[in-house]
Amino acid sequence: MTDGFEVPGATATVLLPAVVARVTALADRLDVQHSEVFDVQRLSAESGVPQPVVRALLGGRPAGEPDLQARFLQRLDLLRRTRLKPNGRKYTQQEIADGAGMSRQQAGALINGDRRPTMEHCDAIQRFFRVHAGFLTAEDSEAIVGALQRSEQELLQQLADRERLGVLGRQE
């Protein structure tokens, strides 16, 4: 915060080391390999952030931040390459348009970067590809924080399950 105005990305940049520390502590407690919870390829796929940027941010280094349009195009391209139809092929512009409730021309213009997305476009495309809200627009550090927080929730569930089983085992 500066002068009462929030600085974009500042919160996530500060949050990232704290989330990394919490996930590290949970992984250690559960004997989960750090390479598993901090797998750069997985975090990249879950967050939409390119692998070199994930690696840099996890290492505490700045990685630059693309503008909103570049970020949208980068992540939409990732979705088109990694979220495939059951037959293993990419979705066509027409299929994306139909699934997102827009014309093929609108979808094509968004995919090609000829048109800036609205919040409605982002929401519809995120729903079509079944990714979380903000996937297409979150700043890189914010997106990684979100992916790590989902990992943290999974680890917390594992810990709760383990402790519950330990308590049940002692009662028998």
Based on the fold, state whether residues 72 and 121 are members of the same structural domain: yes
Q: What is the pLDDT of residue 64?
A: 82
Which sign, positive or negative, has the C-alpha torsion 151, 156, 158, 159? positive
| 150-158 average pLDDT score | 96
Q: Give 47 or 6, the one with higher predicted confidence.
A: 47
- Flag whether 98 is in a domain: yes
Distance CA 54, CA 58 (A): 6
Q: What is the pLDDT of residue 2?
A: 41
Residue 153 structure tokens: 């929730």
Q: What is the pLDDT of residue 128?
A: 98
How many other C-beta atoms can be found within 10 angstroms of the C-beta atom of residue 10? 13
Based on the fold, state whether residues 164 and 146 are members of the same structural domain: yes
DSSP, residue by residue, 47-106: H---HHHHHHHHTT-------HHHHHHHHHHHHHHHS--TTSPPPPHHHHHHHHTS-HHH
Q: Indicate if the pLDDT at residue 9 is higher than 60.
A: no
Based on the fold, state whether residues 41 and 80 are members of the same structural domain: no
Report the chain's terminal Cα–Cα distance, integer Å: 54
Query: Dihedral angle at the C-alpha atoms of 30, 32, 82, 12, nearest 10 degrees?
Result: 70
Q: Indicate if the pLDDT at residue 7 is higher than 70.
A: no
Domain of 29, in residue numbers: 10-64+139-171
Q: What are phi and psi of 2, to 5 degrees?
A: -140, 130
Distance CA 106, CA 94 (A): 10
Based on the fold, state whether residues 107 and 159 are members of the same structural domain: no
Q: What is the pLDDT of residue 170?
A: 59
Domain count across the chain: 2
pLDDT tier at 4, thresholds 50, 70, 90 = very low
Are 130 and 33 spatial neighbours (Cβ–Cβ below 8 Å)? Answer: no
Q: What is the pLDDT of residue 165?
A: 84
- Flag whether 1 is in a domain: no
- Flag whether 85 is in a domain: yes
| 90-108 average pLDDT score | 96
The percentage of the chain sitting over the pLDDT mark of 90, rounded to a whole number, equals 80
pLDDT tier at 63, thresholds 50, 70, 90 = confident
User: Which CATH number goes with the domain that contains 90?
Assistant: 1.10.260
